[in-house]
Amino acid sequence: MKNTNWRSDIESASRRLGERAGHFLRETPLWKLPAAAVGVTAPGAEVWLKLEHMQVSGSFKARGMMNRLLANDIPAAGVIVASGGNAGIATAAAAKALGVPCQVFLPGVSPEAKRARLRALGAEVVVVGELYPDALAACLTRQKETGALLTHAYDQPEVVAGAGTLGREIEAQAGLPDAVLVSVGGGGLIGGLAAWFEQRARVVALEPEKAPTLFRAREAGEPVDVDVGGVAADSLGARRIGAIAWEITQQQVRDALLLSDESIRAAQQWLWKELKLAVEPAAALPLAALQTGAYVPREGEKVCLIICGANVDPATVA
């Protein structure tokens, strides 16, 4: 059934998080720069960096995962999630804050830095298969056995509404941007942002060439499985766009662009060398879109780049 009340759901999520999440969530900084500062020629244009990698648990996922936990009764078995890493870290951090058990299923592609972070948060970590769908299948089997509350990495209403609070926060901080550039894996983040902005800002979907879930779905006219690989596979490694994100983006998102691994890696390195922002590859796609010309700002345009996560080994960034 289609949800036509996403903005109301996002407002409810914002109130719930504000009232019950305590100091768990942060209002992350919004850094405004002239376009020339990031190597883009567009007279009068501004680039807004939404530094969501500074969020609790190191990514935007903290919003949706905590909203999911707060919106439901949590059984004695606690919570369970399959993740490339960031959703698991966010769920584990939320579970720790609420004092409930957490089990996280990870694929083999997940980096050791994310596994170590999960263990430090007190989560039970189970590594299964190579890619996210392998971990998800094992997670669903275990959830049926234990009755734990399932937190999906991107395809639950509470998760999408929680992600949408990021868009609400951007608008409260600086007003409406003209465009919002956002990375897409399973689609929870773009779903939440597009649901909030409702075409009042141009939301642009960005995917690696080696993990094109939304792009291929648009070619096929429906969500389809894709082969997944490349430098951002741990964060953007969903094999198929989520049903919720598909519904929302069909209505609210016009542009879906692909970027090469080389451009993503170059943007990631640039963010560290020039701005001293140590972020994971998934967070670098918006800058890569600008620096490669995949997205060209108009004169005077305000373009918001969602810097979505920083769960990365710093030694791999330089």
pLDDT tens, residue by residue, 154-194: 999 999 999 999 999 999 999 999 999 999 999 999 999 99
Would you state the pLDDT for residue 69? 97
Average pLDDT over residues 240-250: 97
Q: Which is more confidently placed, 288 or 84?
A: 288
CA separation (Å) from 201 to 170, 175, 205, 253, 279? Answer: 11, 10, 13, 10, 25
Would you state the pLDDT for residue 2? 64
Whether residue 201 contacts residue 178, with contact meaning beta carbons closer than 8 Å, is answered with: yes
- Please report which confidence band the pLDDT of residue 109 belongs to, taking 50, 70 and 90 as the band edges: confident
pLDDT tens, residue by residue, 249-303: 999 999 999 999 999 999 999 999 999 999 999 999 999 999 999 999 999 999 9
The proportion of the chain whose per-residue pLDDT surpasses 90, expressed as a percent, equals 85
Average pLDDT over residues 215-229: 95
Sign of the torsion formed by the C-alpha atoms of 79, 127, 57 and 270: negative
Q: Within 10 Å of residue 128's Cβ, how many Cβ atoms?
A: 18
pTM comes to 0.94
The proportion of the chain whose per-residue pLDDT surpasses 70, expressed as a percent, equals 99
6-59+157-316 and 61-151: same fold? Answer: yes
Please determine, for residue 198, whether its predicted confidence score (pLDDT) is greater than 70: yes
Tokens of 306: 């969602």
CATH 3.40.50.1100 at 6-59+157-316, yes or no: yes
Lowest mean pLDDT among 107-116, 201-210, 246-255: 107-116
Structural domain spans, the chain: 6-59+157-316, 61-151
What rounded mean pLDDT belongs to the chain?
Answer: 94
Lowest mean pLDDT among 81-90, 134-143, 218-227, 290-299: 81-90
- Please report which confidence band the pLDDT of residue 237 belongs to, taking 50, 70 and 90 as the band edges: confident
Would you state the pLDDT for residue 1? 44
Would you state the pLDDT for residue 112? 87
d(CA 152, CA 82): 7
Would you state the pLDDT for residue 259? 98
**CATH number of the domain located at residue range(s) 61-151 in this protein:** 3.40.50.1100
